[in-house]
Amino acid sequence: MTRSPYQVSVPADVLARLHPRLRTYFGPVPPGHVGRGSGVFDVVGTPRRWLWPLLAWFARDAVMFPVWERDVPFTVENRPARVGRGSSDGREARLAVRAHRTFRFRSGPRTMVDAITAEPEGLVDHLGRRGRVSALLRAEVDGTGPDAGALRLVSTRVTFRALGRDVRLPGVLAPRVTLVERFDDEADVQRVSLVLAAPVVGTLYRYEGAFRYGIVPGPDGGTG
């Protein structure tokens, strides 16, 4: 991979405002390598147990999990990939980075899977092993202020794939994903915060924590 999906889809002047230590995370993964990190999430999930049956359904596709835990060790692995919707709709596979985030819950490890792709309309996050849920993302990087150098991704469209078609959720119903990645120079860690919220209901799911990350040789690195 010579360019990452972020470099393809996000304007160069926006990426230029990124903290230097974040450019590795959002840059390309060289052939024969993988991006690996490990850290601890302060919180994962939601304390609203009435949402857990819905989260259990999403857990079957490695999207979200019916939990509310603190101090959860985790690892993340990023690999270059090509992601498509299948041959039936004739769309080409897109340049992507596929991420596996493994959470060490008290009940055992669970892995969240997603793939960020460079699409004609911008960055798209395909959630889960099958990518049935997708979110079009708007990328923002502040040049000044408390979040200077951090990357903020906000969903502007959410679609579900059903019966071979993408169904877009209307704005009044669509949940919103807000992801913030920033680098903490004092602690020498990358901090991440994700919040999934819905109109009227509020926060449905979230995680936040810190980790250290680097690009390392990997004999099975590459696309897939």
Cα–Cα distance, 207 to 45 (Å, whole number): 6
pLDDT for 127: 94
Residue 156 half-sphere exposure, CB side, CA atoms within 13 Å?
Answer: 11
pLDDT attached to residue 174: 84
- Model pLDDT, residue 93: 62
Write the CB contacts of 215 (distance below 8 Å, at least 6 apart in sequence): 24, 29, 30, 33, 34, 35, 36
In the chain, which ranges are continuous DSSP H helix?
5-9, 12-15, 22-26, 52-59
Buried b (16+ CB within 10 A) or exposed e, 110-142: bebbbbbbbbeebbbbbbbeebbbbbbbebebe
> What integer pLDDT is reported at residue 209 of this predicted model?
98
- Residues whose CB is less than 8 angstroms from the CB of residue 162 and which lie 6 or more positions away in sequence, other chains included: 132
Q: What is the distance between the alpha carbons of residues 157 and 202, in angstroms, rounded to a whole number?
A: 17
Return d(Cα 157, Cα 90) in angstroms, integer. Answer: 22
Provide the pLDDT for residue 89: 46
| Structural tokens at position 96 | 């992507």
For the chain, the structural domain boundaries read 5-217
Q: What is the DSSP letter of 93?
A: P
Which pLDDT score, from 0 to 100, does residue 94 have?
75
Specify the pairing of strand 133-141 against strand 122-127. Answer: antiparallel
The pLDDT of residue 86 is: 45
Q: What is the pLDDT of residues 73-120, one digit of tens each?
A: 999 999 998 776 544 444 556 788 999 999 999 999 999 999 999 988
Q: Are 35 and 215 in contact (CB under 8 A)?
A: yes
Question: Which residues of the chain fall below pLDDT 70?
Answer: 1, 84-93, 163, 219-224
Chain centroid to Cα 25, Å, comes to 12
